[in-house]
């Protein structure tokens, strides 16, 4: 088999990570006749509940990674914080899609911003800050308010500090709780949007319509599909997503979170080379869901149509909001998705609900 041959249904897809993204990927893979093998440290994960096989081991357990790689036909991941040595080891044995290049950019916010700006994509103004003195200088340069984020391992607002007029640099540094950070100028955005683009082995790329994301406490609360933005802004956002996927020579799925400024400028905020929470609506509202598209892309199959047959609003069910499941099931047009997690910790993504609406003329 050459690197360009399709991986046919019946094969085994290895997925690093056992969360809800791995679960929904495994479900889509099963619909196309594939088996999924989840690799994650947690027992009874949302992914492994629906997978064909699970390896329960750490992401740095080289022996377990080797055995896993030898037993699957392709490896992908549902989150980006996989150690470089582990990706290298896997890639020596089996195709890893997307490859290390995409992970490298997504793992580190400074590398990510350098990459984006380097290919002419605008972001919030930023400074890499490695100590309190650098932070103080950064604050002078960028002004306040500003947002301090950990360089690595940040998600859902973790390790993020909003620095207003009253906060001293050393206080902000202490709150961030890491030894390297990125300081960003605060963007008084009109809205936050994201675009998910799939790119196949042959370089063919398809994007889902830009969607609008509302966050509460830095966690995605709601996605509106499509976004309520000008067609020109939508085109700019899509163009930017295609450019990133192409420059990375990505095979798989890429989500780009962006800010739309008050004057209609699009600024890239974050890149995730995997299925994304803001694409969950596609399961119920599109010809091909983001998860099926992901499976098609990493297996070298033709991509499906990302067209939507309905508009949609996706609401995340966080923590004890999941207790509303019974009332949601009683709504005729609501589609409920639960992730099989046992403990409804505060802010934890327990499930989501998608409500469909007649397709509007927008985009």
Interface residues with ligand AMP (CB under 6 A) are: 124, 147, 154, 157, 184, 186-187, 192, 215, 218, 257, 269-270
If the CB atoms of residues 184 and 315 are measured against ligand AMP, the closer one turns out to be 184
The rounded distance, in Å, linking the Cα atoms of 73 and 75 is 7
Taking alpha carbons only, the member of 355, 354, 351 closest to residue 323 is 351
The answer to whether the CB of 348 falls within 8 A of the CB of 317 is no
What DSSP string describes 193-204?
EEEEEEE-TTS-
The rounded distance, in Å, linking the Cα atoms of 85 and 87 is 6
The answer to whether the CB of 46 falls within 8 A of the CB of 341 is yes
Which residues have C-beta within 8 Å of that of residue 178, sequence separation ≥ 6?
A: 150, 151, 152, 153, 159
Which H/E stretch holds residue 38? strand 35-40
Shortest distance, position 334 Cβ to ligand AMP, whole Å: 25
The rounded distance, in Å, linking the Cα atoms of 25 and 276 is 11
Shortest distance, position 157 Cβ to ligand AMP, whole Å: 5
Shortest distance, position 261 Cβ to ligand AMP, whole Å: 10
If the CB atoms of residues 9 and 157 are measured against ligand AMP, the closer one turns out to be 157
If the CB atoms of residues 52 and 186 are measured against ligand AMP, the closer one turns out to be 186
Shortest distance, position 26 Cβ to ligand AMP, whole Å: 26
Question: φ, ψ for residue 63 (rounded to 5)?
Answer: -65, -45
Shortest distance, position 32 Cβ to ligand AMP, whole Å: 31
If the CB atoms of residues 126 and 173 are measured against ligand AMP, the closer one turns out to be 126
Q: Based on C-alpha coordinates, what's the Rg of the chain?
A: 20
If the CB atoms of residues 192 and 311 are measured against ligand AMP, the closer one turns out to be 192
Taking alpha carbons only, the member of 242, 9, 245 closest to residue 106 is 245
Shortest distance, position 276 Cβ to ligand AMP, whole Å: 11
CB neighbourhood size of 155 (10 A): 15
Inter-CA distances, 285 with 201, 301, 324, 358, 360, Å: 25, 22, 22, 10, 13
If the CB atoms of residues 218 and 228 are measured against ligand AMP, the closer one turns out to be 218
Shortest distance, position 265 Cβ to ligand AMP, whole Å: 13
Beta bridge partners of 244: none
Shortest distance, position 219 Cβ to ligand AMP, whole Å: 8
Phi-psi domain of 12 (left: phi exceeds 0; alpha: psi -120 through 50; beta: other): beta
If the CB atoms of residues 157 and 340 are measured against ligand AMP, the closer one turns out to be 157
If the CB atoms of residues 100 and 186 are measured against ligand AMP, the closer one turns out to be 186
Question: φ, ψ for residue 65 (rounded to 5)?
Answer: -65, -40
Shortest distance, position 81 Cβ to ligand AMP, whole Å: 13
Taking alpha carbons only, the member of 17, 29, 36 closest to residue 79 is 17
């Amino acid at each position: 088999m050459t690197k360009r041959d399709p991986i046919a249904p019946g094969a085994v897809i290895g997925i690093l990570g056992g969360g809800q993204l791995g679960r929904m990927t495994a479900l889509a893979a099963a619909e196309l006749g594939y088996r999924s093998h989840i690799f994650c440290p947690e027992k009874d994960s949302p992914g492994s509940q629906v997978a064909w096989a699970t390896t329960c081991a750490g992401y740095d357990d080289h022996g377990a990674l080797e055995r896993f790689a030898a037993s699957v036909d392709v490896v992908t991941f549902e989150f980006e914080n996989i150690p470089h040595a582990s990706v290298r080891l896997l890639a020596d044995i089996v195709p890893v899609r997307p490859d290390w290049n995409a992970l490298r950019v997504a793992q580190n916010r400074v590398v990510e911003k350098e990459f984006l700006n380097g290919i002419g994509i605008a972001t919030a103004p930023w400074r890499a800050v490695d100590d309190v003195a650098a932070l103080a200088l950064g604050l002078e340069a960028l002004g306040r308010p500003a947002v301090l984020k950990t360089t690595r391992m940040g998600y859902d607002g973790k390790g993020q500090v909003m620095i207003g007029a009253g906060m001293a640099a050393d206080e902000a540094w202490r709150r961030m709780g890491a030894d390297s950070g990125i300081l960003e100028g605060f963007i008084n955005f009109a809205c936050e949007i994201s675009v998910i683009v799939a790119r196949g082995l042959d370089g063919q790329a398809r994007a889902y319509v830009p969607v609008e994301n509302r966050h509460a406490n830095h966690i995605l609360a709601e996605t509106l599909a499509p976004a309520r933005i000008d067609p020109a802004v939508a085109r700019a956002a899509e163009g930017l997503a295609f450019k990133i996927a192409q420059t990375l020579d990505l095979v798989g799925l890429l989500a780009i979170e962006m800010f739309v400024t008050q004057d209609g400028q699009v600024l890239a905020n974050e890149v995730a080379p995997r299925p994304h929470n803001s694409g969950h609506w596609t399961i119920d509202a599109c010809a091909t869901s983001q998860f099926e598209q992901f499976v098609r892309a990493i297996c070298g199959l033709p991509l499906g149509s990302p067209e939507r047959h309905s508009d949609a609003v996706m609401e995340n069910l966080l923590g004890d909001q999941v207790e509303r499941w019974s009332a949601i099931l009683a709504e005729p047009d609501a589609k409920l998705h639960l992730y099989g997690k046992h403990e409804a910790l505060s802010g934890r993504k327990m499930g989501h609900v998608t409500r469909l609406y007649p397709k509007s003329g927008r985009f």
